[in-house]
Amino acid sequence: MAGKSIEVSVVENTSARESANDSSNATESMRLLSELVESHYEMAYRYAFRMSGNASDAEEVVQQAYLIAQQRIGQLRDPTKARSWLMAIVRTTFLKSIRKRRPQVVDGHQLDWSSVPTKSSEMTFDQERLTMALDSLPIEYRLTVLMFYFEHMSYKEIADALGIATGTVMSRMSRAKGILKNQLKRSDHE
């Protein structure tokens, strides 16, 4: 009899500790998520905007990405890598959204630049021309360029994330840079 009561109390104590740990983990998860939103919302929005090309799609992508981040916050093992983890979720969410989307014809599409948050107004290049040039790139080139320059990923990391060869990443980057260079030069002459 005495052995059974010890087993029960050990199980009850373990259960109480697990419940306390779950509560502590939930509190820590909420704190981490709150920090993610506060620290990276603007960057996530700008990244989504650069990929999608419009404010409403960017807002939708970021909102969906934060919902996914909330559900998977326990998968974040190293909080110092939270930014890249979140940007990967934003990228994946965007890619999934364009697979679902059907092409729509838009005439006279005007971009409201005042709705796009900027980090600094001291930039020396024409953001509008650069954004239009980026938006005109085929999605596989645009995504590769954004992952390299916006997420600061290496060619190998991009290749791993997209499931393609490193040589393909290098080729896409080279072609994308060439296209961007030609488009920006062309707009200088106009």
Sequential pLDDT tens for the chain (190 residues): 444 433 333 344 444 444 445 566 677 777 777 887 888 899 999 999 988 888 889 999 999 999 998 888 888 888 888 888 899 999 999 988 887 765 554 454 555 556 555 554 444 557 788 888 888 899 999 999 988 988 888 999 999 988 999 999 999 999 999 998 888 887 666 6
Amino acid (1-letter code) at residue 57: D
Q: Name 78's Cβ contacts closer than 8 Å, sequence gap at least 6.
A: none
pTM over cut 0.75: no
Spell out the long-range contacts of 173-182 with Cβ–Cβ below 8 A and sequence spacing 24 or more.
173/144, 173/145, 173/148, 175/141, 176/137, 176/141, 176/142, 176/144, 176/145, 177/145, 179/133, 179/136, 179/137, 179/141, 180/130, 180/133, 180/134, 180/137, 180/145
Domains annotated for the chain, with CATH where assigned, are 18-99+114-119 (1.10.1740.10), 121-190 (1.10.10.10)
